[in-house]
Amino acid sequence: MSPESETSGGLKTELTLGLPGELQVQKSGIKRGFCEVVDLKLVNNSKSESQPSSKTQVVGWPPVRSYMKNLVRNCKYVKVAVDGAPYLRKIDLEIHSSYQDLLTGMGDLFTCLTICNVLNERKLMDSANGEEYVPTYEDKDGDWMLVGDVPWKMFVESCKRVRLMKSSEAIGLGAAAPSTPSKGSSTGC
């Protein structure tokens, strides 16, 4: 039994066990005895303050069914697949207000990915293997598009699901290769 469990105040830093794709919120001071391996991350208090708490969600808690979440406000859950990862995740587009916000949300959901804004293009990078991912989505017509090309609200309305595609494969979607920053060229395959 750890003496820290007696204190109700928070520590300055919160230990978070960040398994890929799963965000865990650990109450400070309660010793769990989990292993400290590759996935351990230190989350500064300041980071958690800048995110409204409704966005940092533990998977599976509180135990409510997904259809119950739709009642009080609009919910739009879409599946997010990451090339190479076996799990799919779901993300609620309605709780984000902009593309940047969405990227931040995806960075939270897939904790091994960080945002890197390269030449105004939105990408996520896996710091473990250096792989770059470009967010793409399937729209109502079944076409695969780059995330960010249409106004935000239009995107929320038409997006059916999201795929984080490896940069190398996304070139055909009109994503400019890092060395040739030309935008406004053809979109879609």
Partner 1 sequence: MAYSFPEEVLEYVFAFLSSHKDRNAVSLVCKSWYEIERWCRRRIFIGNCYAVSPQIVIRRFPEVRAVKIKGKPHFADFNLVPEGWGAYVYPWISAMVRSYPWLEEIKLKRMVVTDESLELLSKSFKNFKVLVLSSCEGFTTDGLASIAANCRNLRELDLRECEVEDLSGHWLSHFPDNFTSLVSLNMSCLGSEVSFSALERLVSRCPNLRTLRLNRAVPVEKLPNLLRRAPQLVEFGTGAYSAENQTDIFSNLVEAFSGCKHLKSLSGFWDVDPAYLPAMYYACTGITSLNLSNATVQSPDLVELIIQCPNLKCLWVLDYIEDAGLKALPSYCKDLQELRVFPSDPYGAEPNVSLTEQGLVTVSAGCPKLQSVLYFCRQMSNAALITIARNRPNLIRFRLCIIDPQAPDYLTLEPLDTGFGAIVEHCKELLRLSMSGLLTDRVFEYIGTHAKKLEMLSIAFAGDSDLGLHNVLSGCESLRKLEIMDCPFGDKALLANAAKLETMRSLWMSSCSVRRCPSSNVEVMDERGHPDSRPETCPVEKLYIYRTVAGPRVDKPNFVWTMDEDAVLRLS
Interaction of residue 37 with partner 1, rule CB under 8 A: yes
Whichever of 73 and 180 has its CB closer to partner 1, that residue is 73
What is the contact mask toward partner 1 in residues 17 to 36, using x (rule: CB under 8 A)?
Answer: x-xxxx-xx-x--xxxxxx-
Integer angstrom CA distances of residue 104 from 83, 107, 143: 18, 5, 24
Interaction of residue 115 with partner 1, rule CB under 8 A: no
What is the contact mask toward partner 1 in residues 80 to 99, using x (rule: CB under 8 A)?
Answer: -----xxxx-x---------
* 47-73: burial string, b at 16+ Cβ within 10 Å, e else: eeeeeeeeeeeeeeeeeeeeeeeeeee
Interaction of residue 69 with partner 1, rule CB under 8 A: yes
DSSP 133-153: EEEEEE-TTS-EEETTSS-HH
Taking the C-alpha atoms of residue 94 and residue 92, their distance in angstroms, rounded to an integer, is 6
Interaction of residue 65 with partner 1, rule CB under 8 A: yes
Interaction of residue 66 with partner 1, rule CB under 8 A: yes
Tokens of 41: 């991350």
Q: Under the rule (CB under 8 A), what is the footprint of partner 1?
A: 1-2, 5, 8, 17, 19-22, 24-25, 27, 30-35, 37, 52-54, 57-69, 71-72, 79, 85-88, 90
